[in-house]
Chain A
Amino acid sequence: MGSFLHVVFVGIICAALGAASWFATPRGKNQVLLRSSVLLSLTCCYLMWAITYLAQLHPLIVPRRSDLRMEY
């Protein structure tokens, strides 16, 4: 069973990646652009993933369908 800790854990990984990218971006005129882009992308993707994951963590409803056929 997944848990809230997974979300925290992935969050820490993303933060670590972000920190690493902060120091890894080469100096130059695109440094600010690269840093902000990488950090924002990480944040956006992490948020989206976390929301999707959390929404399915403790589902309140169960998928239901009425078009299943018998297996042969």
Chain B
Amino acid sequence: MQLTFEGRAYDLRPGESVLDAMARHGVGLPSACRVGSCQACMIRSVSGDPGPDARRGLKATWLASGYFLACLARPSCDLTVAEPGDDAHTAARLISARAMGPGVLRVLVRPDRCLDYQPGQHVTLSRPGGITRIYSIVSLPAQSARTGIELHVRVYPAGAMSGWLARARPGAPLSLGSPAGECFYLPGNSAGPLLLAGTGTGIAPLLAVARAALADQHPGQVVLIHGAAEPDGLYLGRQCPPELTASPGSAVSWRTCVLSDGEDIAAAAAAELAALACPPGSVRAYLCGGAGSVGRIRRALFMAGMSLADIYADRFVQAGAGR
């Protein structure tokens, strides 16, 4: 059997794990426990089946992206694997960039070909001059096909990307990378409530998750919490966006948290979880925003009884020159 990684083929002995085979060939993957507990050696299958054992205990969104554990994978067929997040590019053009509140632009981008992604994933956006930033995709695939890919862009005073987008003309050339991220909605995965908490433009991917849940007629309640440092950071407003309440039978609630008013989003998220009054295993939480606040919300939900396996988190990391 053959194992292909980064364009090179390695032989795989019967019964040998992918992790061991790669180590034998001098390719070291991160690993620790080697028995499927720590999940440090998680990689992605591009083609071929790593076998059911290799997917034990992984989150549903990781499974949908082809991830598996190299230490438990003993495939019985050829396998091509890749490290998480390798990149391919799609040419695109700017449709428009308009302010939607203080310091946030609603940017619409038209890719040259259909971009394959899950609602809630993020994508790299590059402009001429070699500047690249990561943004979450707000629009559902069907909306993107009609009106373009929607991104919510935080404007920084000297932002190499955001400042350029604010001034750029429609039609300006751009490039999009491969959509990535584990913070996405899976249709039909579970009927339980969704708890979506985001700070700043971290609410953008959660809006996509909420839109996808509604489009899927998700039976469980959808709770959105938008956190901001200051009141004017609530760029979607204090009330639930009308698009989320328009569909009949939708059970969407919207809560805002302003840090300067002494409102703590981690405590708010834990309170919303308690208010759902559901068994901890039935709720899924999606968190997005700055690393500090996402970490605090995640910890609060974990302490309130949620398993980390049910918490999907994307942390924003600011680029050197501003995102």
Bound pair: A and B?
Answer: no
Residues of B within 8 A of A (CB): none
Residues of A within 8 A of B (CB): none
